[in-house]
Amino acid sequence: MTAPIVLVGGGRMGGALAAGWLRGPLAPAQLTIVEPDDKAAAPLAALGASCVPAAAALPRALGPAAIVFAVKPQVMADVVPLYAGVGGTDCVHLSIAAGWPSALVERDLGPVPVVRAMPNTPAAIGQGVSVACANPSTTRDQRALCEGLLQAVGAVAWVEDESLMDAVTAVSGSGPAYLFLLAECLADAAVAAGLPADLARTLADRTVSGAGALLAQSADDPATLRRNVTSPGGTTEAALAVLMAEDGLGPLLTRAVRAATERSRALAPS
């Protein structure tokens, strides 16, 4: 990667992407970040990236190989048109805005290469996972460029059917919040069982994070790992009888993912 990259938005996800890129494939001189908020721009500038407050402040001769939209879907309609002609015909437009179809980027910019992707917040520590989908105008090299950018913050998978991106958003994009809620609820349950609050928080947090690390490093699937912890007639089996009941965790998560998927679809303007 030697060509310039423009990142639009330096918030949590944009900042995580920028930090990952500058740790790996990009030199600071290659990255220009458009971020109007001085407080958000300051730590990114400290990493060596060039920061400008608006699209109009980008150098005319910049010629980026990719423009990455890392802004909220609610502002995409106002932001995307500002980049018409900024990248030229060889520029790929990588959008991580939830629920925002590639067709809407093309509506505002013309028949340009577009890759729609959904990373998640563990990208902040290089442990994210992203799923991406390229439109027909995207070349093999442009797809590889986007994959390299996303790989700097974690694993990457591709889908060919863009309609699947709403479910991807519901599972991996929103999924970290489900795990954080699990840690909260486990700590609350520990307190209800009589443990001190500080010990309950430590046990819950370390149990969730440690189990996740074990899952990531093990060759066994989640069901096998679950069975490995479950002794017949033991304490885990008693708890799982509640969690795996007809109204337990499985149906609850199915409803949650369905609700998030529908919300992702609703984010795109009709």
pLDDT at residue 169, as a whole number: 95
Q: What's the average model confidence in pLDDT over 190-203? A: 98
pLDDT at residue 60, as a whole number: 85
Which band of pLDDT confidence, cut at 50, 70 and 90, is reported for residue 174? very high
The domain segmentation of the chain, as residue ranges, is: 5-168, 175-267
- Going by CATH, does the domain composed of 175-267 fall within 1.10.10.10? no
The model's pTM: 0.90
Could you give the maximum distance between any two Cα atoms of the chain, in Å?
A: 70
At the topology level, CATH places domain 5-168 in Rossmann fold (3.40.50)
Q: Among 23-27, 157-161, 171-175, where is mean pLDDT lowest?
A: 23-27
Give DSSP secondary structure letters for 169-231.
Answer: IIIIISHHHHHHHHHHHHHHHHHHTT--HHHHHHHHHHHHHHHHHHHHH-SS-HHHHHHHH--
pLDDT tens-digit series, residues 211-246: 999 999 999 999 999 999 999 999 999 999 999 999
Q: What's the average model confidence in pLDDT over 156-180? A: 97
pLDDT tens-digit series, residues 17-38: 999 999 888 999 999 999 999 9
Q: How far, in Å, are 214, 232, 242 from residue 200 at the CA level?
A: 21, 26, 21
